[in-house]
Amino acid sequence: MVGVIDEAQLFYPLGTRIKIANNYGTVKYVGEVNGHCGTWLGIEWDDGLRGKHNGMVDGKRYFQTRLPTAGSFIRPGKLGPFATLEDAARERYLNYDSKNVDTSLIREAQASMQASLFEVVGMDKIARKQSKFEQLSEVSVDETPVNAAGYLKDLSQLTTLNVSHTLIWNWEIVASITQQLPLLNSLNLSSNRLLLPTDKQVIELAPSFRHLKHINLGNCGFTDWQDVVQTARLWPDIESLSLQENSLSQLGEVDCTEIFRKLRELDLHRTKLMDFDQVCKLGNISTLCVLNLIENRIEQLQLPDCEPQSKLNMFVSLEQLSLIHNPIWNETEAFNELDKLPQLKRLNKTPHLKSNFDEMFSKAVASIAGLQFVNKAKVTPEQRRGAEYDIWKKYALEWLQATKLGADALREFYKKHRTYLGIVNKYGSPADFVPRIQVKPSNLIKVRIQNGQTGEVWEKKVPRMITVQTLQGLITKRFRLGEIPQLCYIDAKHPELVVRLENNAKTLDFYSVQEHDTVLFE
């Protein structure tokens, strides 16, 4: 029995990954089980509901699982064969298995056919396939039982490799793959479970990863940020790292002299982050340009304090931030905080439940001075002018009150509305709007409606809450137009400001149309 156990331990060392049907697991124990004959493998399943226990059976602890029903015992004979990356790639791309080639049969066929036809047609076809195989630049063997490298020198042109959902289980295996592929720069290891490398292994294996630029470790079972840090020592100059779908609610500061020295893109979506303070711990990664925080649980954005007209010395290269599907409850405050980032140009975010894209877009553009794109929509000069004009009027009374209270009050106002001083410098004092805000406005406003082509003017009192669509209908009927006109308005006090009325469902009040303003159509 000892010999059988030793053989099983040799073939299934602890940490080995296995798969039965669609269920993946990790070998945590090899040996006998009391009351049962033969050799057993103790498995911790990735699916915590797949097993029957936590590694303890009849009062004896054989191994430990993270979840109470993630463990079970299976016979080694239930497992299928493993494969090398070489075999899996040839099978997928050539549909060719050398074990199925009978060399004696080939020789008999050659002799009976006087060789020439068989050699030219059969061998030439294999040669052409082999040539295409050697020219492959991208290979994917996802969801195959790969747990070893094999001979990979034929894949000399390979730059991108997907080995997600395989049975690779340690960094020695990964190193044996990468060191044979000198042009490889992108490696997808997602949905694997890899043993944490030791300090000795880091030193020995790191040279095998020097040419890599992109690594995907999504859904690899990370729960401790320090494990990520230890693993990252294998490839300190990586440029893009995906850690999506790992439970990493707590992050930590990193020593950028040891890891993430050239990191430009970091994907942390679906990592169960709740506190933006955790994200701020990564602010010293000076090369980081793109940060993905999609589908986390972040409710509030709070960055360290800084002077209203200053930027933070953190995330100094960050240009793109994705916050889609986070329950951020105060958009105005969040955007004001993001203005502290020195290089932010692109923001991806879903609107608050009580908001919509147009309102969110306007708030973001007015509050983040350098913003150029919102959800891939480019910010035009007209849109920026309209957004800035809106908050210029909206906070006019608050600004005027702060100026009367003195320097401290005005400084606090500018901390809450970081872009406002620049807007005042751009458009002048908003004091003209204060009387309109203080006095309860009439429900009706008198506007000048002007035909941009003929110059004809129609002065009309309309409700403040009339929609753009209804006003379009009135204008179409009054001027007998053949099609629905596009509208914009010119502020009577500041005629240089022209605002397009782009959303037909919005009211004139939403666009801040006031008494004596001109609605222009063509």
Q: Both tokens of residue 456?
A: 């004809």
End-of-domain residue from the set 381, 405, 420: 381
The CA-CA-CA angle for residues 377, 488, 456, to 5°, reads 155
The CA-CA-CA angle for residues 189, 190, 196, to 5°, reads 70
End-of-domain residue from the set 381, 399, 421: 381
* 433 has pLDDT over 80: no
Highest mean pLDDT among 40-54, 220-234, 388-402: 220-234
In a domain, residue 196? The reply is yes
Give residue 128's pLDDT: 52
Look up the CATH number of the domain holding residue 449: 3.10.20.90
CB-based contacts of 174, cutoff 8 Å, min separation 6: 168, 187, 189, 194, 208
End-of-domain residue from the set 330, 365, 381: 381
- Give me the torsion for CA of 64, 70, 75, 76, rounded to 10°: -80
Total tally of structural domains belonging to the chain = 3
Averaged pLDDT for residues 440-466: 89
Does 188 share its domain with 321?
yes
pLDDT band for position 512 (cuts 50, 70, 90): confident
Instruction: Find where tokens 């395989």 sit.
Output: 166
Averaged pLDDT for residues 342-359: 92
Neighbours of 438 (CB within 10 A): 9
In a domain, residue 284? The reply is yes
Chain center to CA of 437 = 42
Do residues 285 and 263 touch, judged by C-beta distance below 8 A? yes
In a domain, residue 322? The reply is yes
Give residue 14's pLDDT: 93
Q: What is the mean pLDDT of the chain?
A: 89
Does 179 share its domain with 265?
yes
Side chain identity at residue 480, one-letter code: R
Averaged pLDDT for residues 81-88: 94
**Distances from the Cα of 156 to the Cα of 183, 201, 414, angstroms:** 7, 26, 59
Does 233 share its domain with 347?
yes
Does 13 share its domain with 151?
no
In a domain, residue 429? The reply is no
Look up the CATH number of the domain holding residue 351: 3.80.10.10
Nearest to 351 by CA among 371, 378, 332: 332
Does 246 share its domain with 168?
yes
Instruction: Find where tokens 């798969």 sit.
Output: 19
For 144-155, how does the pLDDT look when each residue is reduced to its tens digit (9 = 90+)?
999 999 999 999
Which residues make beta-bridge pairs with 507?
A: 467
Q: Both tokens of residue 298?
A: 């972040």
For 55-74, how does the pLDDT look when each residue is reduced to its tens digit (9 = 90+)?
999 999 999 999 999 999 99
Complete DSSP assignment for 16-83: -EEEETTEEEEEEEEEEETTEEEEEEEEEESSTTSSSBSSEETTEE----SSTT-EEEE-GGGS---E
Does 87 share its domain with 27?
no
Nearest to 17 by CA among 179, 191, 150: 191
* 391 has pLDDT over 70: yes
* 309 has pLDDT over 80: yes
Do residues 195 and 170 touch, judged by C-beta distance below 8 A? yes
pLDDT band for position 6 (cuts 50, 70, 90): low
Nearest to 274 by CA among 308, 238, 239, 301: 301
Does 17 share its domain with 87?
no
Q: How much helix, strand and coil, in percent to the nearest 5, is found in the chain?
A: 30, 20, 50
Averaged pLDDT for residues 198-208: 97
Note down the domain range covering 481: 444-521
